[in-house]
Structure 1
Amino acid sequence: MSLSSAIESNRLSRVKDALHELSRECVRLSAERTTDSKTPIGISKFGGEPDVPPSFDWPMWDDEPMTFLGQINCQQISQILAPSFFPDSGLLYFFNFVDVDGCYDITESDEPTYVVRHIDASDLKRTEMPESTHELEYCTRLLTPTLGVSIPDLTDPTTVDLDLSDSERQAYTKLFLDLGGAEHQLFGHPALIQPYPSSFKNRDLLLQVISDTEDHDFMWGDCGYLYFMIPRGSGNPIEESIAEIAS
């Protein structure tokens, strides 16, 4: 559904111009459970084993290897939507530290418990996680990207000037769902499960990962969302990503 038709069907024509101005294009990521044996090298996916060059230095935290969260094929995404900061080739890798109980939390530490890394190489090989005390591996999920449109959460300060009535706020929530709701997503506005975090100020969404309530290996807090946010206007935003969980 296009943004214009969704606005009209939800009777929000009074603020249609403002909604068009606030909206941001995004890439929705549909995830399908599969196995690494069925996925080509270099494809966009969550979980399984990463496709990395032989010289790859596996990310560590507290002398333990981080768990591979996923990889994004930059060329595949750039053909759909290409923000100025986003590489047009190579792979974008995401890793996070999972403890012995299979839990992941953003702990306060001198060293981040997550890593975002871009590598542009052709000699990729599917690589096992180094030996660990926990060795938790996320199930493989093949990612299919499609172009989408996102609107800010009602707790986002940018929506204040809309001055929505109670009925319009309900319609706005329905509009959010009609546009795709909360999904795995690159770019655009984050789908919030808690009020707008102050840490998101002057930052934009790089990747949003939703908990999988059927396969509990992919769970952030209490059925929450995992966000990777990048600083707005930075020369190397991907290298300065921060991660945050809300549940």
Structure 2
Amino acid sequence: MKTAHSTNGFKAVLFDKDGTLFNFNETWGHFCDLMFDTLAGDDEPLKDRLAEVCGYDRASRTFKTGSLIVNASADEVNEAWSGLLPDRSLEEIVSLNHEVYASLPVFPTCDLSGVMTDLRDLGLKLGVATNDYEAGAVTQLQEASAMTLFDFVCGSDSGFGRKPEAGMVHGFCERMDIEPHEIIFVGDSTHDMDCARNADVGLSVAVLTGPATEEQLTGHADVILPSIGSLPGYLASRDVK
């Protein structure tokens, strides 16, 4: 078993969820399709407007880089949809959000158990920080049989603020009794990398399993990897300091 020293003094990894642990387009494409079917019924133009405001292309079932559904919190997305649905209350939309999300299938980007076990073998604590609701994150991780792999899970409603603010990182630090420079932050968007920079983490890692391209992520992260599956090998290959 490898020891913590092979990580150059890093003590923990904090992961974004969607696009990092789980396939973004598959997860949120299903989510949007189900939400629109309930919110708009047979009104195709309304579905198109709901999709446009959150940055979803219904035809290709993909999302625009930097769009609301990619970068914003769940509350912000629900509020944007609410503005197009005068006959539905925000509370109704939020309730539907929770109901639909709980029914979604899960699409991990890799063998989560294998990757997280390798990282734990390096002596690292593991956490998840998402702009989704905390309950949604917990449900998804449980469905993937991955909840027990993590020491910390927080969402935009957990009391730590939203990314790209630094609060989620600081909350993780407090819970794990570590400092930001001892954290590796892993995400798939410039929003995630901005959070890493704002929190002054020790290493920011971007992965290419979300909507953002390598070109778009270049200059925002310390390193860019194909997926989180490459992270244990990357850390193990670093020179011991």
Shared topology, TM-score over 0.5?
no
Q: Which has the higher helix share?
A: 2
* TM-score, scaled to structure 2: 0.28
TM-score (norm 1): 0.28
Larger RCO of the pair (alpha carbons < 8 Å, separation 6+): 2
